[in-house]
Amino acid sequence: MKLCTAADMRALEERAAGQGRPQAVLMEEAGLGVAQETWINLGAVPERKIVVLVGPGNNGGDGLVAARHLHDWGAAVTAVLLARQRREDDPNLKQLIERKVTILPVAAGDLGSLDEALAGAEAIVDAVLGTGRVRPLEGVIAHALERVSALRTDSTVAPRVFAVDLPTGVNCDTGAADPHALRADVTVALGCSKVGLHTLPGAEYAGRVEVVDIGLPKDAVEALPVELLNARWVRERLPTRPASANKGTFGRVLVVAGSKLYVGAARLAALGALRSGAGLATVACPASVQALVAAGMSEATYLPLPDQDGFVAAEAAVEVARALAGYDALLLGPGLGQGGQQEAFVRQLLCSLPVRQAGLPEDGPRVLIDADGLNNLSRVPHWWERVCAPSVLTPHPGEHARLTGHSISEIQADRLAAARDAARAWRQTVVLKGAYTVVAAPDGRAGVNPYANPGLASAGTGDVLAGAIAGLMAQGLAPFEAACCGAYLHAAAAEGLRSDLGDSGLLAGDLLPELPRTLRQLRGL
């Protein structure tokens, strides 16, 4: 499902107007869609008391159209005007006046009449502000939303809230929520869903998101670069599994990971690659910890590396580079540790990888850099100029902050922009981990994961994710597609466990047997 920003929506509306569908036509379709979703969710509307909160702009116009249809279908509708900008010659307002629909203008300091209108309401349609809002909520709008929120908290039977396009107070692009923002049960997204409905905190205000067609040009919507990932999108891109296959068919992953402090990271990453379908995983780890890694995993092969006191030594980069010819994907970083030797190892290894040349086939394995691979890389000046192989970088917000020099709060304030800007600047695929993980490609494409699961806030789950993505790259998926499919697979597996275990106590190892089960479900087998 495509996602759009406020700028995207303006461009889509302009395109529609150029094809003979002006704003008035789109508004009619939008209001009808909102009314229909309200009907569907209430079960029926005759004699049901419905209050429509109407703002000053197009969002308010959509609400007026919805109010008209709900009235015509038998609902007891009150349209509450929260802005003076709606003139009586507004054609949609005139149609309500002609039908003798109750219209209640509410001014600042006159909120008692709003309380009366809200009393006993079974549904509230939030058509106050949409994608164009940029300023903080204040005045009569802020006070009115406070009254509605209080009513929903205090009432024995709280009215359901249906938001038009966005809950008022939620930022279309970032998901930031004003302190007065109104929480919806259902958000009726017009034409296509908005980015801010699928990132925190906006997702918590949106409730269930339903997209209605309002007549935007379908080719223009399909050309939008941001996708909300779903099972169908992933299914269409998963690698095939021919019956005639051998382990070489499904690719070989070299996992460079682990140290005396983080033995489990290497094990989880390698098993993540195997559980996602890779044919072979080799763990390249410090020789002194190989036996510890192998003790918990009999399925991998091993490449013991020169080490210094249980950590990989800088000279090990030569051995890894020499071994790479036999592998389809390189996973670098989980549990390596940080320091002078590890930093030198990461720098030397990445500089030894084949350089991409425009117009020529890729040479050498695809690369995934995770965890301490990223932490050590962040200490290398102009590091992005040294990573020339086609790569996936998988930072959490703290690692992304170290790589970019931005603060964590800046990154979290606009996760989509942070991931896309980094992917473009670094010319690599970036996976910004966290609730509603964002995957961004250098060409501007992005995938947003539809899941937020606190159960994944557990040590080692990122190692499993890195392994899953590397395993999919080894099976032939391009970096962006592998990252999107791996992130979705990982999160969907966690959702399956959540239904059984709840959202606390999930261990990274619990994900491993769940990955093939989730793959089976995705393939529809």
**To 10 degrees, the CA torsion angle through 343, 349, 350, 352?**
140
Strand boundaries in 55-185, DSSP class E = 76-81, 102-105, 123-127, 160-164
What is the pLDDT, as a whole number, of residue 522?
Answer: 96
Q: For the ranges 64-78, 235-249, 251-265, which has the lowest average pLDDT? A: 235-249
What is the pLDDT, as a whole number, of residue 351?
Answer: 85
As a whole number, mean pLDDT of residues 330-341 equals: 96
The pair of structure tokens assigned to 178 is 């004003």
pLDDT tens digits, one per residue of 259-280:
999 999 999 999 999 999 999 9
Alpha carbon of 54 to those of 81, 104, 156, 445: distances in Å? 5, 10, 25, 35
Report whether 192 contacts 2 (CB < 8 A): yes
Superfamily of domain 2-224: YjeF N-terminal domain (3.40.50.10260)
What is the pLDDT, as a whole number, of residue 296?
Answer: 82
Closest CA to 365 of 471, 245, 210: 471
Superfamily of domain 232-523: Ribokinase (3.40.1190.20)
β-pair partners for 4: 194
As a whole number, mean pLDDT of residues 221-228 equals: 98
Report whether 2 contacts 9 (CB < 8 A): no
pLDDT tens digits, one per residue of 62-114:
999 999 999 999 999 999 999 776 677 789 999 999 999 999 998 766 777 88
Q: Which amino acid is at 359?
A: G
pLDDT tens digits, one per residue of 442-500:
999 999 999 999 999 999 999 999 999 999 999 999 999 999 999 999 999 999 999 99
Report whether 45 contacts 38 (CB < 8 A): yes
Q: Give the domain ranges of the chain.
A: 2-224, 232-523
Q: How is residue 437 annotated by DSSP?
A: -
Closest CA to 313 of 259, 264, 270: 259
As a whole number, mean pLDDT of residues 341-368 equals: 78
Residue 342 scores a pLDDT above 80? yes
What is the pLDDT, as a whole number, of residue 360?
Answer: 40
What is the pLDDT, as a whole number, of residue 359?
Answer: 43
Neighbour-count burial of 242, counting CB atoms closer than 10 A to its CB (0-12 exposed, 13-18 middle, 19+ buried): exposed
Q: Is the omega angle on the peptide bond into residue 381 within 30 degrees of 0, that is, cis?
A: no
What is the pLDDT, as a whole number, of residue 363?
Answer: 62
Instruction: Name the percent of the chain lying above pLDDT 90.
Output: 83
| φ and ψ at residue 447, rounded to 5 degrees | -120, 135
pLDDT tens digits, one per residue of 137-173:
999 999 999 999 998 887 677 899 999 999 999 999 9
